[in-house]
Amino acid sequence: MRTILFLIRKEFLQIFRNKFISKAIFAVPIVQMLILVPAVTFEIKKVNLAIIDRDLSPESRALAGKLTGSTFFRVSSSTFSEEEANSLIHKGKCQVALQIPDDFSEKIGRGEQASVLASVDAINASTAQLTWAYLNGIIMDFSRETAAASAIGLSALPLINVTSRYWYNEALNYKYYMLPGILVILVTAIGFLLAGLNMVREKEIGTIEQINVTPVRKHQFIIAKMVPFLLIGLADLAIGLTIGRIAFSVPFEGNIMLMFLSSTVFLVAVLGMALFISTFSATQQQFMFVAFFCMIVFILMSGIFTPFESMPRWAQNFNLINPVAYLIRVNRMLMLKGSTAADLARELISLSVIAVAFTALAVNRYRKVA
């Protein structure tokens, strides 16, 4: 144990001897949280809308007014030409063209079903789906209001009233959803990159040979390499949580100690993987190439941007060995739902298995060669 403590002290001295790294370790989390949390969002703030109103009736103007009054839509153009509206979509000047036919008010007055045509720019499928959902919701509200105001439409009023309730994020604030995932990326970047680069750098400058000729055992060396970055990662996690609470008012419903315990197990897994990669990397460039590939795959397939349930079966199976996916689920369940250890047992056990496996691989692969 004394040997490990001396090695850990040596690692801390080596880390903080580099003034740039020592400052970046704590400056990067602050900048990353303040920039990424409000920036990385799938919410739509403004959609440019072109209206083709061929009816020019009070009903068509009421529909246009309801769209204008929405916080999502901005009427950027009004025209009578379908070709002009399509041209605006083609040039990217508007995302939706809504055509109101000349018999719109007449059919409403007769109690018949009136139709409108919405052309949505679907070059971005996610944005198109959200835009259509917003547009459809507003039109359905207009339809219900029109039916309620019409004696003919009274029979069309729904007999069942549905009231929606959003649990765990009632305001539908996207920052609450993204911050737990950004925290995982933050911890991953600090632990994964710095730990591996630290070990490979010692290979390049030759200082690792001085350790290799000593009686230090392989597991002692690997543990000493992991502990400093484990503590730094947990410190960065605390900084990220503090910024999330102060700057974005993100709630925390769960047990803070359970979150740090989960992050500790996760960091052991990530650090074990980083040190395992560094054992067969001769230069920092080699390590960065492999590490960048692994991080991109793990992060993009973790469910931070796309729902885990919407992934194909093979991708869901891959996530069984993806530590990032587990911690993102743990963070979101802890912070927003207030889940307990029993609720997170599957994720914690899986992370523990991955941590033990990669740490064992790193110890076994490391060679004490002078």
Chain segment 196-219, per-residue pLDDT in tens: 888 888 888 877 777 777 778 888
pLDDT exceeds cutoff 60 at 158: no
Per-residue pLDDT at 217? 86
- Higher pLDDT: 158 or 21? It is 21
Cα 21 from Cα 11, distance rounded (Å): 13
The stretch 43-50 carries a mean pLDDT of: 84
Highest mean pLDDT among 144-148, 247-251, 317-321, 327-331: 327-331
- What are the distances in angstroms from CA 203 to CA 158, 206, 238, 278? 73, 5, 32, 10
Domains and CATH numbers, the chain: 2-40+173-365 (no CATH), 47-156 (3.40.1710.10)
DSSP, collapsed to helix, strand or coil, labels residue 352 as: helix
Q: What residues contact residue 19 under an 8 Å CB cut-off, 6+ apart?
A: none
- Do 218 and 249 contact (CB within 8 A), yes or no? no
pTM of the prediction? 0.81
Nearest 10 degrees: CA dihedral of 98, 103, 107, 112? -70
- Do 101 and 54 contact (CB within 8 A), yes or no? yes
Q: What are phi and psi of 79, to 5 degrees?
A: -150, 165
Cα 336 from Cα 227, distance rounded (Å): 29
Per-residue pLDDT at 368? 67
pLDDT exceeds cutoff 70 at 346: yes
Per-residue pLDDT at 150? 64
- Higher pLDDT: 41 or 324? It is 324
Cα 271 from Cα 87, distance rounded (Å): 53
Q: Report CA 13 to chain centroid distance, whole Å.
A: 34
Q: Are strands 96-100 and 117-120 parallel, antiparallel or unpaired?
A: antiparallel
Give pLDDT tens digits for 268-314.
999 999 999 998 888 889 999 999 999 999 998 988 887 777 788 88
